């Protein structure tokens, strides 16, 4: 038997085991939300490996309905990775409707290729044998680029989510939590490496460049090994991924038996986030962004603003923006740029809001303030 055959057998074995692992995570233990997301992720891996193995003209002529239909699972790969991390870290993220937007590329793929998918068996075979519609290959290339973009976009989001979580909970993270975060970070990094290998293979194939190493084979082999290791570890210790040992449970729970963890002040944590991360520079900042960054609930953040700080969310954010604008004016930024541009750099989303806020807190318009202070 040739090495290629051994390689194919190993991939088939990995795809079957991945399918079994995904079923395990989806249905046991049945109350763990993050496990279900991980189960869907591993299932998408299994289908992706299977699709790679069977990609031949003979197979698709025998089973034409599989042609191009399995590609949709590749579009779910990175969104599911990000959703898994969010749902593992944050209880508020465990709502299906909050995650539906991440599946839009996959849904769009199914809609666009529906004219091909709804064809009968004989018509599909003729199209595969003779000639596919002129729009077919170009659109497939577009979705290949979307997959590459997903790798960049969701990797950045995932690493930022892990960074924010650890940064704002460093005073109350247990040893178990640190191990969990290390695992999640390693999980993302390995996926990035695999994505890089696969992307390089795509560009080399498009460019018609041949190299001694089959990057696609290396990509799928590594993907299969990662799946098997992940599945085996999950079988050995399923609670590692469960909500029973959820990170937020430890954040407000017990680090040692009979010994409660010390809780930092929520208001101080929120102020620290505003002053150090400067989210108010983002013109479309929403309170939900602060919920995801700090881990505090929407209700708790609203309570801090309205009760403890006695200011609304927008008033507080605009105060920080105004302080930034005043600092830029003192530094002479307005001499090189227009005031609307300065307002934009301070986080204001409109000139009207900038002028109204400036007048409210200083009693003067920006122009009057600059003239009176000879700035």
Q: Read off the pLDDT of residues 237-295 as tens digits, 9 standing for 90 and up.
A: 555 555 444 444 444 443 443 444 434 577 888 888 888 888 888 888 888 888 777 77
pLDDT tens, residue by residue, 189-245: 888 888 788 778 777 777 777 777 777 777 777 877 877 777 666 666 555 555 444
Residue 276 confidence (pLDDT): 83
**319: Cβ contacts below 8 Å, ≥ 6 apart:** 311, 361
Are the C-beta atoms of residues 164 and 270 closer than 8 Å to each other? no
Cα angle 39-21-228, degrees, rounded to a multiple of 5 = 110
Domains, the chain, with CATH or none: 3-251 (1.20.1070), 266-372 (1.10.10.60)
* Range 83-96 average pLDDT: 77
Assigned token pair, 11: 């991939």
Q: How far apart are CA 362 and CA 199, in angstroms?
A: 54
DSSP 338: -
Global pTM value: 0.64
Assigned token pair, 59: 């197979």
DSSP string covering 135-167: THHHHHHHHHHHHHHHHHHHHHHHHHHHHHHHH
Assigned token pair, 91: 């209880």
Confidence band of 29 (pLDDT split at 50, 70, 90)? low
Tokens 């018509």 correspond to 123
Assigned token pair, 336: 């090189």
* Range 98-125 average pLDDT: 89
CA 7 to chain centre: 32
Instruction: Kindly report the average pLDDT of the chain as a whole number.
Output: 79
Residue 28 confidence (pLDDT): 66
Confidence band of 9 (pLDDT split at 50, 70, 90)? confident
Residue 103 confidence (pLDDT): 92
Helices marked H in the chain = 3-27, 33-54, 57-62, 77-89, 96-99, 104-112, 114-117, 121-129, 136-168, 175-207, 215-236, 247-251, 266-277, 287-294, 298-303, 313-330, 333-336, 339-345, 351-362, 366-372
Kindly tell me if the per-residue pLDDT of 108 is higher than 90. yes
Kindly tell me if the per-residue pLDDT of 341 is higher than 50. yes
């Amino acid at each position: 038997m040739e090495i290629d055959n051994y390689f194919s057998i190993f991939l088939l074995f990995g795809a079957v085991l991945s399918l079994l692992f995904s079923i395990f995570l989806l249905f046991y233990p049945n109350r763990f939300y993050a496990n279900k997301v991980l189960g869907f992720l591993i299932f998408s891996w299994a289908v992706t490996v299977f699709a790679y193995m069977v990609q031949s003209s003979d197979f698709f002529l025998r089973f034409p309905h599989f042609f191009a239909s399995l590609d949709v699972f590749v579009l779910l790969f990175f969104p599911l990775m990000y959703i898994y991390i969010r749902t593992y870290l944050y209880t508020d993220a465990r709502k299906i409707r909050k995650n539906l937007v991440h599946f839009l590329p996959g849904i769009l793929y199914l809609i666009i290729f529906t004219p091909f998918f709804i064809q009968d068996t004989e018509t599909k075979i003729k199209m595969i044998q003779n000639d596919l519609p002129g729009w077919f290959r170009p659109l497939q290339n577009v979705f290949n680029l979307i997959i590459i973009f997903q790798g960049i976009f969701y990797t950045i989001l995932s690493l930022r989510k892990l960074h924010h979580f650890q940064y704002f909970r460093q005073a109350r993270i247990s040893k178990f939590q640190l191990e969990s975060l290390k695992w999640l970070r390693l999980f993302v990094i390995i996926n990035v490496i695999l994505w890089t290998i696969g992307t390089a293979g795509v560009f080399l194939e498009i460019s018609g460049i041949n190299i001694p190493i089959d990057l696609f084979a290396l990509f799928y082999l590594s993907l299969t090994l990662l799946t098997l290791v992940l599945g085996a570890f999950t079988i050995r210790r399923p609670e590692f991924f469960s909500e029973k040992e959820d990170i937020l449970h430890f954040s407000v729970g017990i680090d040692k038996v009979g010994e409660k963890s010390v809780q930092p002040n929520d208001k101080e944590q929120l102020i620290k986030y505003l002053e150090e991360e400067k989210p108010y520079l983002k013109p479309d900042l929403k309170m939900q962004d602060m919920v995801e960054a700090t881990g505090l609930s929407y209700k708790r953040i609203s309570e801090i603003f309205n009760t403890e700080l006695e200011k609304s969310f927008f008033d507080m954010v605009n105060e920080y923006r105004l302080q930034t604008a005043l600092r830029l004016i003192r530094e002479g930024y307005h001499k090189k740029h227009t005031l609307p541009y300065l307002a934009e750099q301070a986080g204001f989303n409109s000139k009207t809001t900038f002028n109204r806020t400036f007048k409210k807190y200083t009693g003067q318009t920006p122009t009057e303030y600059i003239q009176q202070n000879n700035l």
